[in-house]
Amino acid sequence: MKNYLEYKGYRGTVAYSAEDDCLFGQVIGIADSISYEGTDITGLKQDFKASVDDYLDLCARIHKEPQKSYKGSFNIRITPELHRKLDLIAQSSNQTLNAVVTEALTGYVQQQL
């Protein structure tokens, strides 16, 4: 079961407000703010898609490159010792450090899902 929405490469949250008796959410993974709401899941999905389309249209009108969720790069901080070990693994297997880290993270994610 997934508790998020996806459309045109954007992912959005799904939440409920008891105070307002409505569903709402926002696009995650970008700095720009895109929010949406609906009284039921169908309305929420429609407003999510409309909000993403509005964002893309606005970006086109003002000649701004739309932000994309999850570019595929991020910075992490690890100990120098772990960094050294990963680099040794990469060198000994004739791979790049990125390839070794990607392989390790892929294995971790597969175990978790």
pLDDT band at 69 (very low <50, low <70, confident <90, very high): confident
Q: Which two tokens stand for residue 14?
A: 């799904």
Distance from C-alpha of 104 to C-alpha of 101, rounded to nearest angstrom? 5
DSSP 18: T
User: pLDDT grade, residue 86 (50/70/90)?
Assistant: very high
pTM, full prediction: 0.67
Structure tokens at 30: 């970008």
For 42, the 3-state DSSP assignment is helix
Domain ranges in the chain are 4-61, 80-112
* pLDDT of amino acid 113: 83
